[in-house]
Amino acid sequence: MKGTDIQLEELMTKPVFSASKETPIKDITFELFYGFFSGMPIADSNGKVIGIVTEIDILNQIRDGKDLEKLTAGDIMTKNPITVDVNTPITDVINIMIEKNVIRLPVTKAGHLAGVIARRDILRYYFQPGYFSRLPWKNV
């Protein structure tokens, strides 16, 4: 089995799509659908992560009969989401994902959004040898 000394920067998705708290939910939903991801970090103008909007957050609004056309990220985001620093050991990231039952975590560097690490990124690393050396954004 591969070691656990892999750096998050090698696994995380970057560049990362993020939105501001003023972004309409319909725009975020469009990005989630066409970007094939299930959540989007919400960052302030300085790049600090202030929230996250997930498919579940949007589904909750639909269930509650809310008009998605009138909602912004700030209206429904989970505030102060769990984040990890680029130097967080992969075993700690896995533990957080399991214990908190989260699919993805925003990754920060010097307090600013740098990427997103998802469960699938970790699984891909362990089960697809050489996968990351073939990624077009590996050396970005």
User: Mean per-residue pLDDT for 90-106?
Assistant: 95
* Residue at 2 is within a domain: no
Question: Tens digits of per-residue pLDDT, 16-58?
Answer: 889 999 999 999 999 988 877 889 999 999 999 999 999 999 9
Is residue 71 in some structural domain?
yes
pLDDT (0 to 100) of residue 140: 42
- pTM of the entire structure? 0.83
User: Which residues span the domain enclosing 101?
Assistant: 8-134
Q: Is residue 36 part of a domain?
A: yes
Residue 133 in this model has a pLDDT that exceeds 50 = yes
Distance CA 35, CA 7 (A): 24
| 139 is a domain residue | no
Q: What angle do CA 56, 57, 60 make, to 5 degrees?
A: 85
Residue 140 included in any domain: no
**What's the CATH code of the domain at 90?**
3.10.580.10
What does R_g of the chain's alpha carbons equal in angstroms? 15
Instruction: Pick the most confident of 4-8, 69-73, 130-134.
Output: 69-73
> What is the count of structural domains for the chain?
1
Within a domain: 3: no
Report the range of poorest mean pLDDT among 17-31, 64-78, 114-128: 114-128
CA 46/CA 140 separation, integer angstroms: 21
Domain for residue 17, yes or no? yes
- Is residue 1, in this structure, part of any structural domain at all? no
Q: Which long-range contacts (CB under 8 A, 24 or more apart) does 75-78 make?
A: 75/25, 76/25, 77/21, 77/42, 77/50, 77/51, 77/52, 77/53, 78/51, 78/52, 78/53, 78/54
Instruction: Work out the pLDDT band at 74, boundaries 50, 70, 90.
Output: very high
Mean pLDDT of the chain: 88
